[in-house]
Amino acid sequence: MTYAITQTCCSDATCVAVCPVNCIHPTPEERAFGSTEMLYIDPRSCIDCGACADACPVDAVFPVDSLSGAQQEYAEINAAYFADAPEPEPAAAAPNFHAWGEPVFERNLPADFGPLRVAVVGTGPAGMYAAEDLLLHTDAEVTLIDRLPVAGGLIRYGVAPDHPATKKVGETFARFYSHPRVRMHLGLEVGGDLTAGELAAHHDAVVYAVGASTDRRLGIPGEDRHGSISATTFVAWYNAHPEVAPEAIDLSASRVTVIGNGNVALDVARILVADPEDLAGTDIADHALAALRASKVREVVVLGRRGPEEAAYTRSELLALKHLPGVGLLIDDHDPRIAAAVDTAGQGDKAAALRGIPRAAVDWSAPPPAGDRRIVFRFHSSPVAIEGGQEVAALRVTGAAGETEIPTGLLLRAIGYRGTGVAGLPFDEATGTVPHENGRVAGHPGTYVVGWIKRGPSGGIGANRTCAAETVGTLLADAVDGALPAPAHDAKSFARLARRRNRHLVDARGLAAIHRAEHTTGLRTGRPRVKLATVPELVATARSPRRWLPG
């Protein structure tokens, strides 16, 4: 029986590396890698060895005969990816019929290559993939820096709480926190506590993995009314981010509108209408769970400027919505192009995933219907203005039939993340990225970027592995060429500087105390963890590890 890759695939290609018959595609060497929604197993050549399932960092691979419920569709989804591939020869000596590429040895360093001291700023997936590459393939000493007093980045604060398998990739990174060649300084802000120049003066190279921490703006009248917030704020709120207050979100409205139709928009919509008791067993923030239990939200409108064939969400995220208990789905059939796109879509087209969802013209002057909560997809609608006094009251949109007003009490912008500049480094305002050449920051020898601050907010967790490989490759090539400036100060000097600038830093032992505290509290309440939600709580726990020792 073959294996299949399912919804939580992170596309980091760990499974590709262990497959003995090359049946998982696209591989990092293929042009399609990074542009497909997930990776796929060819059922015609899979030999049922299970190596991919053992290696997967997010538990996304299962035997086809064990798939149940919503995941059963993934057997067909995997097979469909190879529908146009040639059939294997009947007399083939082995089941593998995918061509192997030439072996690549990207980390072929000179025998006399000395150890480097590299700072990685940011402990999300991009930064940790870069650190992993350096630690596994070189003798580098790595300084991990994060402005928050806890590691994880978007693994901790961006992944939805009802996607626990996706969060498991954090366990892969956590093994490096206590690595003998790693020094960790959490709660240290570059550009605040110390300058980029000071950091560079203590290291051979600095890799910035600071992500894209802000959101894109709509640029329409009324955008700053109370009740108009970014989806990034909402996501941070339900994930217990210490920079978002518990009272930041008001769920007293019966209808919420989400502008955007990417995966973040679907995450937000799903959390808003899910049964809070189903979320009670996750690591959702305590304040968010309490608010959702008292929520008045009955309907979430997911608004897209373009049609269903061009939606930015992945099919797997949409399929997950179809199986939410007690939640109805509806497509607002206000434009004939919508039905045409869905009905004529090919098997692999994105619009085909909407088949089976009811379509009807929605009367927006009426309140959301009683009964089950629902999500309404409205395509081909562009926001024009946000109406109301001080509070949001309605969203005015335009489409093929002219303007429509959708009454709403909360509006969430989910139209994309945007990077912010790092003081002392160049920054492209148009793209929200640091200009670079294969990760190398021009005009700043020894300075590199990786992740969303390098390429913009595109690609999931796994895309950062190949992104990091490119940046680390550039860094090592510069080191071999003698292009890295020698640090003016040693590692002990940097540790003293960091402690002088911020007396509340958290190191690897402190981080372990935080994790132990959160898991211990979670164990008592039947949850994977209960997140500490403020900086003082995190710092105090890091400094009082004995409080959380068992017994």
Mean pLDDT, rounded, for 539-545:
88
Binned at pLDDT 50, 70 and 90, residue 94 comes out as: low
> 381-390, 474-483, 542-551 — which is least confidently predicted?
542-551
Q: The domain that contains 143 carries what CATH number?
A: 3.40.50.720
Burial of 36 (0-12, 13-18, 19+ CB in 10 A): middle
* Predicted confidence (pLDDT) at residue 530 exceeds the cutoff of 80: yes
| Section 199-220 average pLDDT | 94
Q: How far is residue 458's CA from residue 187's CA, in Å, rounded to a whole number?
A: 26
Are residues 368 and 292 both part of a single domain? yes
Number of domains in the chain: 3
Q: Give the C-alpha separation, 300 to 259, whole Å.
A: 10
Task: Report the relative pairing of strands 373-378 and 40-41 from DSSP bridges.
Answer: unpaired
Task: Check if the beta carbon of residue 146 is closer than 8 Å to that of residue 469.
Answer: no
Residues 229 and 369 in one domain: yes
Distance CA 59, CA 79 (A): 19
Higher pLDDT, 370 or 40: 40
Looking at residues 523-528, what average pLDDT do you find? Answer: 93
Tens digits of per-residue pLDDT, 296-343?
A: 999 999 999 999 999 999 988 998 898 899 999 999 999 999 999 999
Helix H segments across 326-416?
A: 336-343
In this predicted structure, what is the pLDDT of residue 350? 87
Q: Are residues 315 and 333 in the same domain?
A: yes
Asked which of 353, 386, 415 is the last residue of a domain, the reply is: 415
**Tens of pLDDT, residues 109-160:** 898 898 999 999 999 999 999 999 999 999 999 999 999 999 999 999 999 9
Is 223 found in the same domain as 207?
no
What pLDDT, on the 0 to 100 scale, is given for residue 479? 96
Helix, strand, coil share (%) of the chain residues, nearest 5: 30, 20, 50
pLDDT higher than 50, residue 550? no
The reply to whether 532 falls in a domain is no
Torsion of CA 309, 312, 313, 315, to 10 degrees: 40
Give the position of tokens 């999931």.
460
Span 375-391, average pLDDT: 96
What integer pLDDT is reported at residue 88 of this predicted model? 60
Bridge partners of 313? none
Q: Is residue 420 scored above 80 in pLDDT?
A: yes
Q: Are residues 408 and 346 in the same domain?
A: yes
Which pLDDT value is given to residue 549? 45
Residue 260 has pLDDT above 60, yes or no: yes
* Token reading at 106: 């990207």
Residue-number span of the structural domain to which 62 is assigned: 3-81
In a domain, 526, yes or no: no
- pLDDT score recorded for residue 545: 57
Rank 94-98, 108-112, 175-179 by mean pLDDT and report only the highest.
175-179
| Other beta carbons within 10 Å of 311 | 25
**402 with 463, same domain?**
no
Select from 81, 102, 135 the last residue of a domain.
81
Judge if 134 and 225 occupy the same domain.
no
Residue 232 lies in a domain: yes
Give the mean pLDDT of 418-436.
94
Task: Count Cα atoms within 13 angstroms, Cβ side, for 219.
Answer: 3
Choose one of 81, 104, 133: the last residue of a domain: 81
pLDDT single digits (tens) 7-28 = 999 999 999 999 999 999 999 8
Q: How far is CA 527 from CA 56, 234, 308, 383, 533, in A?
A: 23, 21, 37, 40, 16
Cα(56)–Cα(183) distance, rounded to whole angstroms? 27
Q: How many residues are present in the chain?
A: 551
Residues 6+ apart with CB under 8 A from 305: 380, 381, 382
**Angle between helical axes of 231-238 and 263-273 (0-180°, round to 10):** 50
Judged by DSSP in three states, 399 sits in: strand
Helix (H) or strand (E) holding 382: strand 382-388
Tell me, yes or no, whether 176 and 225 share the same domain. Answer: no
Residue 108 lies in a domain: no
Distances (CA, A) of 502 to 149, 189, 499: 11, 9, 5
Of all residues in the chain, the percent with pLDDT exceeding 90 is: 83
CATH of the domain at 305: 3.50.50.60
Please indicate, yes or no, if residue 513 is contained in any of the structural domains.
Answer: no
Query: What's the confidence (pLDDT) of residue 96?
Result: 67
Token pair listed for 200: 């560079």
> Inter-axis angle of helices 508-525 and 535-543, to 10 degrees?
110
> Is position 530 within any domain?
no
Q: What are phi and psi of 154, to 5 degrees?
A: -70, -15
Q: Would residue 540 count as lying in a domain?
A: no
Specify the CATH number for the domain of residue 21.
Answer: 3.30.70.20
CA distance 454 to 434: 6
Burial of 534 from C-beta contacts in 10 A (0-12 / 13-18 / 19+) = middle
Q: Evaluate if residue 83 carries a pLDDT over 90.
A: no
Please list, in sequence order, all residues whose beta carbon lies within 8 angstroms of the beta carbon of residue 1, skipping any fewer than 6 positions away.
48, 63, 64, 65
Tell the residue number behind the tokens 């930064």, with chain if given. Answer: 127
**Same domain for 307 and 356?**
yes
pLDDT, position 431? 93
**Average pLDDT score, the chain:** 93
Shared domain check, 299 and 277: yes
What is the model's pLDDT at position 347?
Answer: 79
Could you give the CA distance from residue 470 to residue 436 in angstroms, rounded to a whole number? 12
**Residue 89: per-residue pLDDT:** 57
Q: Report the alpha-carbon distance of residue 460 to residue 35 in Å, rounded.
A: 10
pLDDT tens figures, 490-512:
999 999 999 999 999 999 999 99
Give whole-number Cα distances, 44 to 53, 86, 95, in Å: 17, 10, 8
Contact between 7 and 61 under an 8 Å Cβ cutoff? The reply is no
Distance between CA 88 and CA 338 in Å, rounded? 39
Check pLDDT > 60 for residue 458: yes
350 in the same domain as 473: no
How buried is 134 (Cβ within 10 angstroms: 0-12 exposed, 13-18 middle, 19+ buried)?
buried
User: 520 in a domain, yes or no?
Assistant: no
Whether residue 240 is found in the same domain as residue 380: yes
Q: Is the pTM of the predicted complex or chain greater than 0.75?
A: yes
Nearest to 268 by CA among 362, 164, 162: 162
Instruction: For the sheet with 447-449, list strands across it.
Output: 182-186, 141-146, 117-121, 205-208, 447-449
pLDDT at 273: 97
| Confidence check: pLDDT of 548 > 50 | no
Q: Each residue of 326-336: pLDDT tens digit?
A: 999 999 999 99
Amino acid at 30: E
CA 107 to chain CA centroid, nearest Å: 27
